[in-house]
A and B are shown apart, each in its own frame.
Chain A
Amino acid sequence: EVQLVESGGGLVQPGGSLRLSCEASGFTFNFYGMNWVRQAPGKGLEWISYISSGGTTIYYADSVKGRFTISRDNVRNSVYLQMNSLRVEDTAMYFCARELDYEAYWGQGTLVTVSS
Chain B
Amino acid sequence: EDQVTQSPEALRLQEGESSSLNCSYTVSGLRGLFWYRQDPGKGPEFLFTLYSAGEEKEKERLKATLTKKESFLHITAPKPEDSATYLCAVRAGNTGKLIFGQGTTLQVKP
Q: Do A and B come from one complex?
A: no
